[in-house]
Amino acid sequence: MSSRPLKNPYPSPELWEFRHKWFSYEMGQALGSGDLVGVSTKQTRVLELELETVFCAGAWLATIVLACAAAEVYVAGQDAKKEAKFLGPYGLREEWIWLQSRRNEIVHSTARSPTDIAGMSYEQTHMENEAKRAVAAALKILLLGTRVKLDTSIERDA
C-alpha cells in the first residue's frame, strides 16, 4: 500500500496571503467593534499564531483539531467544568458543541472520520468551509476575555 500526497499540498504565496487576510478579518470579527476590556495572554497569542499557520497552509483537519484544542485550553483556564455551559451566555454554546463534535469525529474512529486520503483531495471545498467555521468559533472563544470582563481577563493598560 503506497501513500500518495494530496494534489499540490503547498499553497502559493498568493493563496497564503489570501488565507492570511481571511484569518485577519475573522480575528477582527471575533474582537468585535466595542471597547476592548482586556488583552490576550501570551499562550492565547501563540495558539492563535499556530492556528493561523495551519489554516494558511490548507491543513484543514489540523486546523479543526487545533482550533478545538486551543479553545479547550482557554476555557479550561476559566475554571469551567462544563465548557458548553460556560460559553452559553456569550452565544458560543452551539459553535462549541459543533467544534468539539467535529474534532472528535476526526481524531476518534467514527463513520465521519477521514479514512480515504485520496478522497480528501476531492473534498477540499467542504473541508475548507469546516476549517473556516472552526477558526471563527475558536477565535471568538480565544478572544472572549478581550471583549467581556471575566475573572481571568488581563486588563488593558489605559
What are the extents of the domains in the chain?
13-23+37-155
DSSP β-ladder status, 38-39 and 154-155? antiparallel
User: What is the CB-side half-sphere exposure of residue 52 using CA atoms within 13 A?
Assistant: 19
User: What is the CB-side half-sphere exposure of residue 90 using CA atoms within 13 A?
Assistant: 23
User: Residue 1: what pLDDT?
Assistant: 45
User: Residue 110: what pLDDT?
Assistant: 66
User: Residue 107: what pLDDT?
Assistant: 83
User: Residue 105: what pLDDT?
Assistant: 84
User: Residue 135: what pLDDT?
Assistant: 97
Is 57 in contact with 69 (CB distance < 8 Å)? no
User: Residue 145: what pLDDT?
Assistant: 73
pLDDT in tens, 85-102: 778 888 888 999 999 988
User: Residue 44: what pLDDT?
Assistant: 82
Q: Across the strands, what pairs with 38? A: 155
**Sequence-ordered alpha helix ranges (H) in 32-76:** 42-57, 60-76
- List, for the chain, all residue ranges whose pLDDT scores fall below the cut of 70: 1-8, 34-40, 79-81, 110-122, 147-158
User: Residue 63: what pLDDT?
Assistant: 96
Identity (one letter) of the amino acid at 88? G
